[in-house]
Structure 1
Amino acid sequence: MPLKSMIKSALPHAVRARLVAARKVLLADFQDIYVLPLDAPGPEVSCEDDVTFSTHDAAAALELSARVWPDEGAAPARRQALARLEAGDRLIIGRIGDEPVMYGWLAHGMVEMTYGVFVPLRDDIAFSYNVRVHEDHRRRGLLGAYYGFLHARLRQAGYRRLLAGVARSNPIAAAAHRKAGFRKAGHCYTLGLLRRQVTWNRLPGLPALRLTNPPARD
């Protein structure tokens, strides 16, 4: 069995996250990068729910995490929300009526190579990351509606491409992105040991190798 498959299958995601925070063992993060061209018509949206999208701030991120995903904890959400909003990212929340059912983060001119490590790209590229749909509303077309919303908004603002990272271990998310009009454009593979991590990229505009310090997760 290849090394990456052994690492990927040996530990559940929650266990890997705790070990990354401890910086004590060799860990791996394998994600494929998908691209949605914005100079072409947007994806065909077939959503079973009447969902609306709007942009929010850090307080909304904390409130949403506490209500919908309490297991994630407030401290990591607070740190990420404040840091990414300060960097210029946007939090987009999807609601059915008054109920929040999904959210996603949008970065401008950069890509997240691995958890918390963002590097600059072209100014006409946006990057979608950390998209979550509540379990009661999955497989109802919300992801397609979300990307339809982003396509229209970003195209009007002059962006040319929307990128998204999908974990190699999540074939359902990969299929949903392809259904929304994305195609695979490259990948970012990260190996971490103790307090250092190295990322190998196959994506135009990114360095092939990059050495970084893993960010705290707790």
Structure 2
Amino acid sequence: MIRNVVGSVLALAGATAAVWSPFRAWYDGRHGRDYRIDELFTGVTDAKAEIIGSILLPFAFAALLTLIGVVLRSRVLVAVAGVVVLGFTVLWMVRVGQVEDGLSVGSDGQGLGDGVANALGGGLLLLIGALVMSGRTRRHATRVDRPRDWGHDDDRGHDEGYDRGHDQGYDRGDDQGYGRGHGGHEGPAGYDGRESGPPRSAPPPSSDVPWDPGRDENPPPPEHRA
């Protein structure tokens, strides 16, 4: 955040200096707004240019890029604005040097003026501002937790409780008490799965009851027959 603020201030200061530079003297007292933009590609002449078609145009475009870059926190746009300012300034210096057979700096207003210094300084401030800015921070995707399905969790908890509690209690308690031979478990030797103890026998018939041959397969002793 602090880097973006500092970088934005530097970029805006550089854009201001660049836009203000054509209104200052560039060479031999001649202002930058007097140089036509097409002369940078064809050759510098003594003809006076209109403001809309002067060297002010690329600098105004660079200032617009700077404003958009500061709003969007785009380091690329600010850097492009600095390159535009420096590029046109260097191109102007090359064209004027070809006409004047070199560039000179004088203290009496002759040679390079403070307008060129403003343009070069503005371009450098734009590049420095782009380097200082941290740019737009990327937002990390956050994991969105799914809403908890209470019904599903209750079923799972009930099933787990039943499986772990009831079944274990049944297997460990009831099976051991009932018998290991039941339910496929191996019982002790000689155990057939029925209750232990001697086999039950039918109670002895009473001597008072007459014997019915069709009622009981085991007839009573002869002395008890009626």
TM range (shorter): under 0.3
Determine which structure has more spread, i.e. the larger CA radius of gyration.
Answer: 2
Higher relative CO (CA 8 A, sep ≥ 6), structure 1 or 2? 1
Question: Which is richer in helix?
Answer: 2
Structure richer in strand, relative to its length? 1
TM-score (norm 2): 0.23
TM-score, length-normalised on structure 1? 0.24
